[in-house]
Amino acid sequence: MELILILLLLGTLHLVAPDAQGDALFELRTSLKASPDQLTDWNQNQVNPCTWSKVSCDSNNNVFSVSMSFMGFTGTLSPRIQVLSRLTILSLQGNQITGGIPEEYGNLSSLTMLDLESNQLNGQIPSSLGNLKNLQFLILSQNNLEGPIPESLSSLPNLTSILLGSNNLSGEIPDHLFQLSKFNFTGNRLNCGFNNTHPCASTSGDSSKKSKAGIVIGVIGGVLSLLLVGCLVLFLWRGRHKGYKREVFVDVAGEVDRRIAFGQLKRFAWRELQLATDNFNERNVLGQGGFGKVYKGVLGDNTKVAVKRLTDYESPGGDAAFQREVEMISVAVHRNLLRLIGFCTTPTERLLVYPYMQNLSVAYRLREIKPGEAVLDWMTRKRIALGTARGLEYLHEHCNPKIIHRDVKAANVLLDEDFEAVVGDFGLAKLVDIRKTNVTTQVRGTMGHIAPEYLSTGKSSERTDIFGYGIMLLELVTGQRAIDFSRLEEEDDVLLLDHVKKLEREKRLDAIVDRNLSKNYNMGEVEMMIKVALLCTQGSPEDRPAMSEVVRMLEGEGLAERWEEWQNVEVTRRQDGRLEFKNQKALLTSYPFDLVPSYAINFAELIAIFLFFKERRHEG
């Protein structure tokens, strides 16, 4: 019975676990034989692949686009990506991919575009592609595909374009495919062309008419271009002589070109940020989170900036409400908080502009540094811990209304040129009035950093930030991620917090510390930081210290008393927990999971079951 329950649990977790997407994509990377210098940010141990290059996700962290064209891949297609149930675009054009198209691709039920053009694919086109009821564009030209075109493709209700030219296909072409707005079957041995009723490629009108129309359009276009250039030169000349500045980029309908008096805060024009980021080029992406992507940019005066393009921002009051929130953010000024330079609004866009942090984030320095880059030494990690605590203390206790961050983690702590900690992304958190309870409809944050009460109730407070800060301290000490499924291979805890708790109980502090420090640290200071982290991550939010108290403990005041008090409470809690565990053991082991569909088991139940088996393993 226990074995069946464990297998059921693992199977259910596989269906819902956020790492299933990452595992599938990493398998695709491996099967395509990506070189070591390609897709270097695809980390197999990262739970959420939404920050990876060439991958796009929706607001719920579902992968909807994978685009890797002209990258020189020589491997094969992995069938495992069938688990990407929300994938709408798969583009691998212009590589040297061999082998066949997996039948499993017919399970990508959300797919609207499949582009595998200009590869070396062979075998037949799978008939399972006829299951892709949302497919609009099927592009398989310039491969070595053979056999007939599956009849099932003619039943796709949304298909508008099918390009199969330059393959080794043969046989009949389903009549319905000739009715599509765009088709190309040239370069095959199919029933189309001179001796058949249907042409091999779609056409649109007489060529002579098109030529004449092209000439007319060309002449008109040339005249209009000359007029446009002349007007632009005249405009710039007048601007220069009237003392206008370079802020003339107002080319988005509805954008208001005005400057507002928020101290040094500047309202940028859309075109200005578009130019600074090279039209928001993917090569300039510094990172991506739940609120949108961050792009590196260079302004006209050569100032380097980071531009956050919000993709999940809804302001009920429109532009005015956004400005009020920006104004509140701008007054939160502290040496350990990321300063807001300016913003930009259009009817469809919200952008925030920050200084560029040349040393990137703590997460990058802990786990993603390139060869030759310096590892964070212990003294720097101590400064980061204290600086981050001071920044959060300011947000919680000196801002009115106070600001709750809601996603405190190493990736959101940036490092300036002197490696001083600068808390970022706090401006995107909910601004909480101290007289109200903040209940959200969508939990913000990153798994492994989210406080248990926030996950279960949706209520965030400064105590949820303190929990995230405690996890960040553990990241600093260990160099590891908050969740790491690779630890399962060693029969260890997936959650970093549980992993550290176990080693701390066993008094194996050396096994906790980041190996990159090469034993260059003070064990007393390590022990202090771990104790502060464990106090910050207590299950009950009321038991966690305030950030002002955390600052004092890191400075050497009051930790011993608080730790002793917590130890006494923890012993009692463990005894009560063992009794409750024994009372629930029979209930859990007799629960009829085999009668319940896996999708009906919610996340809280999964966590409860996971903790049950983890506790049983520890008891054994």
499 and 620 Cβ atoms separated by less than 8 Å: no
Bridge partners for 310 per DSSP: 292
Considering Cα of 415, then 416, then 422, then 425, what sign does the dihedral take? negative
Bridge partners for 91 per DSSP: 67, 115
Residue 449 DSSP label: T
R_g over Cα of the chain: 29
What does the CA dihedral 36, 40, 45, 48 come to, rounded to 10 degrees? Answer: -150
Bridge partners for 151 per DSSP: none
> Which contiguous run of DSSP H or E holds residue 113?
strand 113-115
How far, in Å, are 125, 413, 508, 526 from residue 511 at the CA level? 53, 25, 6, 12
Residue 407 bears catalytic tag: yes
Q: Report whether 266 belongs to an annotated binding site.
A: no
121 and 101 Cβ atoms separated by less than 8 Å: yes
429 and 443 Cβ atoms separated by less than 8 Å: no
CA distance linking residue 619 with residue 613, whole number of Å: 10
- Give the CB-side neighbour count of residue 275, counting CA atoms within 13 A: 16
The two three-digit tokens of residue 267, written as one number: 């309202």
Whether cis (ω within 30° of 0) applies to the bond prior to 371 is: no
Catalytic site residue from 19, 407, 465, 514? 407
Q: What angle separates helix 547-554 from helix 523-536, to the nearest 10 degrees?
A: 170
CA distance linking residue 140 with residue 380, whole number of Å: 53
User: Closest Cα partner for 424 from 546, 306, 532, 319?
Assistant: 306
CA distance linking residue 381 with residue 554, whole number of Å: 12
Residues with catalytic roles: 407
Residue numbers belonging to the annotated binding site: 308
Task: Return binding residues for ATP.
Answer: 308
